[in-house]
Amino acid sequence: MKNIPISALIGLFFTALYFLGAIFAPLLAPYGVGEVVGNVWEPSSADYLLGTDNIGRDLLSRMIYGGRTTIFIATAATVLSFTLGSVLGFFAAVTGGWVDQALSRFVDLVMSIPTLIFALVVLSVAPVTIPMLILVMGLLDATRVYRLARAVAVDIEVMDYVEAARLRGEKTAWIIFREILPNALSPLIAEMGLRFIFAVLFVSTLSFLGLGVQPPEADWGGIVKENKEGIVYGIPAALIPAFAIATLAISVNLVADWVLNRTTSLKGGRG
Amino acid sequence: MSPIVKLLAQRISLSLLLLLLISVVIFAGTIVLPGDVAQSILGQSATPEALANLRAELGVNDPPVQRYFAWLFGAMQGDLGTALTSGQDIAQALSSRIGNTLFLAFWAAVVAVPLAIFLGLLAVRFKDRWPDKLISAVTLASISIPEFLIGYVLMYFIAVKMRWAPSVAMINDSMSLLEKLHSIALPVAVLTLVVLAHMMRMTRAAILNVMQSAYIETAELKGLNAFQVIYRHAFPNAIAPIVNVVMINLAYLVVGVVVIEVVFVYPGMGQYLVDHVSKRDVPVVQACGLIFAAVYIALNMFADIVAILSNPRLRHPK
């Protein structure tokens, strides 16, 4: 662990900070999430460290609670997409034949529609609730994970130890979870970081468009939306959540970069 | 039939098939999901009669396959149906907005593409020196930042603090080209920044890949200077991958426009789409979704066609 480059350490530090902030939000936030405490768009002061928002709520508290919602949704969507995408990807690689063809062509089809457009089409009829958002994002993102998982698993599937397991008479489930999964873990984990960022950006974009997390619930994209009118009067409140999204994304990126470099060097350049 | 014509015919028919399948997916996406559309439009307090009327109007009572074909044949003849909320003809409402969206995307592409290729070449020329490092750092930052953030940061500093450009991009037909360009300056800048880094990095990777070939070494040994090696020998061989990168990014641009239009209140297709998603106006959303997907597929297809045409092995078969 002592060879962690400085950039990855910075990334790890800030990522941990954001996650801890999300977990302990009720302890950290000075005010309640929907509590009106001051005037509209007060500048930052000792009472309100980041100032107040468009209807006089404490911006710091909203940011902390909003981070909790954003990070929770992004994490849940990432977990869903990884579970589904990697299991199906491994399954396709191990089974081969028409199952592989059918799954892969279907994934190609879904990937040929821009994600945001597809999500908007679905959200125009589906109820916009947090579980629904997680489901839509998770399913759409699972196609990307599927591609990677299948590509990695096809490489592993031809190894001798997989053949040995087959000859021993192991079932498909054993081959997927005991032979392929442990060997495919490192590239998948690096990808997980990138997918998580994508999920954060995506849920923020949806909320910004008014189609994600609904008020009074706070989330970072929604805070930008609520305070965007202030920009024209020179009030930078909307830039604060944007700054938080960017720093979180960059820190996770730094960590993912490091994991990716580390795993490629372990394998002698083969990723 | 020469093999290249055959390849092109295959590629184009594949795209058409894909578009057909996508129309199925988009249509199915709006009916398979749980939730009653009529209920979502009218809300919880709707009377049963109102719900029944709306369902009949939407045609929800007909079998899905029949509705799909009616919609598809209508769309092929340019009839996209009418909007539920305003009763307006969708095709008519879209026609001016498509023009506006393409106008914005076009100018963003005009700025971004040459700039990205030039900076990509620069990064190769100064590989591992500070220009290259700076470029990769900017890339990392820009893929971590959502489009709307870049939009608001620019709006805050350039439009509000320095007053160089208007903060909302309103355009109408009576404006001259120069006035229009001034009013879309900020959205164009944002879109350029959004695609620039990615395009630049992939251009760099494509050229570096070519630079490792033996003929580049020969050119260097001949005594050509670095820019000439890149321009005369590396660039022609990197055209296919670069065009590919450019097209992928243009496709991305067309989608990124959705968010940017909302930020800058620009009267384009993206804003129209987002407006009607929140109003749950399904026919409009389906029509816009289909058009965005068609543009996306067309650009990807165009990239593949250029790749086929620029490959001499396919142009002059043995």
What's the average model confidence in pLDDT over A171-184? 84
B137 and A CB contact within 8 Å: no
CA angle, A70 then A71 then A73, to 5° = 65
Band (A268; pLDDT cuts 50, 70, 90):
very low
Q: According to the model, what pLDDT value does residue A78 have? A: 93
**Using H for helix, E for strand and C for coil, what is the string for B94-142?**
HHHHHHHHHHHHHHHHHHHHHHHHHHHHHHHHCCCCHHHHHHHHHHHHH
Task: Confirm if B32 and B10 have CB atoms less than 8 A apart.
Answer: no
The 3-state DSSP class for residue B222 equals: coil
Whether the CB of B3 is below 8 Å from some CB of chain A: the reply is no
CA angle B227, B230, B232 (to 5 degrees): 100
User: Measuring CA to CA, which residue among B120, B112, B156, B135 is closest to residue B247?
Assistant: B112
Calculate what percentage of chain B has a pLDDT beyond 90: 0
CA atoms of B194 and B182, how far apart (whole Å): 20
Q: How far apart are CA B171 and CA B191, in angstroms?
A: 17
Average pLDDT over residues A123-135: 83
3-state secondary structure chain A: CCCCCHHHHHHHHHHHHHHHHHHCHHHHCCCCCCCECCCCCCCCCCCCCCCECCCCEEHHHHHHHHHHHHHHHHHHHHHHHHHHHHHHHHHHHHHCHHHHHHHHHHHHHHHCCCHHHHHHHHHCCCCCCHHHHHHHHHHHHHHHHHHHHHHHHHHHHCCHHHHHHHHHCCCHHHHHHHHHHHHHHHHHHHHHHHHHHHHHHHHHHHHHCCCCCCCCCCCHHHHHHHHHHHHHCCCHHHHHHHHHHHHHHHHHHHHHHHHHHHHHHHCCCCC
Ordered by where they begin, the domains of chain B are: 90-274 (1.10.3720.10)
DSSP-assigned states of every residue in B6-60: HHHHHHHHHHHHHHHHHHHHHHHHHHSSSS-HHHHHH-TT--HHHHHHHHHHHTT
Cα separation, A128 vs A109, in Å, equals 25
Contacts of B133 in chain A (CB under 8 A): none
- Which of A212, A247, A210 shows the shortest CA–CA distance to A73? A212
B235/B120 Cα distance (integer angstroms): 11
Give the rounded distance of the alpha carbon of A149 from its chain centre.
17
Partner A, chain B 237-256, Cβ-Cβ below 8 Å: 251-252, 255
Res. A270: pLDDT tops 50: no
In chain A, residues with a C-beta closer than 8 Å to the C-beta of B33 are: 122, 125-126
B122 touches chain A (CB under 8 A): no
DSSP B169: -
pLDDT in tens, A178-209: 888 888 887 788 788 888 888 888 888 888 88
pLDDT value for A264? 56
Cα first-last separation, chain A: 21
User: Cβ separation of A112 and B297 shorter than 8 Å?
Assistant: yes
Choose the mutation target among B60, B144, B193, B281 for the interface with A, i.e. most A CBs under 10 Å.
B144
pLDDT at A41: 67
Span of A3-17, B154-168, B262-276 with lowest mean pLDDT: B154-168
Sort out which chain B residues have CB atoms less than 8 A from A203's CB and list them.
Answer: none
Residue A70 φ then ψ, to 5°: -60, -50
Q: Is B143 helix (H, G, I), strand (E, B) or coil?
A: helix
Q: Is the pLDDT of residue A217 over 70?
A: yes
As a whole number of Å, the end-to-end CA separation of chain B is: 14
| pLDDT higher than 70, residue A230 | yes
Query: Residue B205 to residues B21, B117, B201, B212: CA-CA distances in angstroms?
Result: 33, 11, 6, 11
> B103 or A215, which is more confident?
B103
**Most confident residue range from A6-10, A135-139, B40-44, B227-231:** A135-139
DSSP state of B172: -
- pLDDT band for A77, please (50, 70, 90 cuts): very high
Q: Please, which pLDDT band fits residue A16 given cuts at 50, 70 and 90?
A: confident
Indicate the burial class of B136 (C-beta count within 10 angstroms; 0-12, 13-18, 19 or more). middle
Interface contact B278-A109, CB threshold 8 A: no
Query: Can you give the length of chain B in residues?
Result: 318
- Is B176 in a helix, a strand, or coil? coil
In the predicted model, is pLDDT for residue A153 greater than 60?
A: yes
Q: Which amino acid is at B124?
A: V
What tokens does B169 get? 């991009």
Do A94 and A208 contact (CB within 8 A), yes or no?
Answer: no
Q: Report CA Rg, chain A.
A: 22
pLDDT, tens digit (0-9, with 9 covering 90-100), for B116-152: 888 887 887 777 778 777 877 777 777 777 778 888 8
Q: Do A209 and B262 touch (CB under 8 A)?
A: yes
Q: How far apart are CA B200 and CA B92, in angstroms?
A: 38
Q: Which residue has the higher pLDDT, A221 or B180?
A: A221
Cα A221 from Cα A71, distance rounded (Å): 12
Distance CA B279, CA A68 (A): 28
Please, which pLDDT band fits residue A160 given cuts at 50, 70 and 90? confident
Q: How far apart are CA B272 and CA B282, in angstroms?
A: 12
ipTM above 0.85, yes or no: no
Chain B residues 170-199 with CB within 8 Å of chain A: none
Among A109-123, A148-162, B41-55, where is mean pLDDT lowest?
A: B41-55
Tell me: pLDDT of A267 over 60: no
Residue A80 has pLDDT above 90, yes or no: yes
SS3 B89: strand
The whole-number pLDDT of residue B167 equals 66
Distances (CA, A) of A129 to A132, A211, A254: 5, 9, 32
**Considering only CA atoms, which of B230, B225, B183 is closest in space to residue B206?**
B230
* % of chain A with per-residue pLDDT over 90: 5
Nearest CA-CA distance, residue B86 and chain A, Å? 16
Higher-confidence position of B316 and A132: A132
DSSP letter for B242, please. Answer: H
Give yes or no for residue B176 having a pLDDT over 80.
Answer: no
The answer to whether the Cα torsion of B113, B178, B102, B306 is positive or negative is: negative
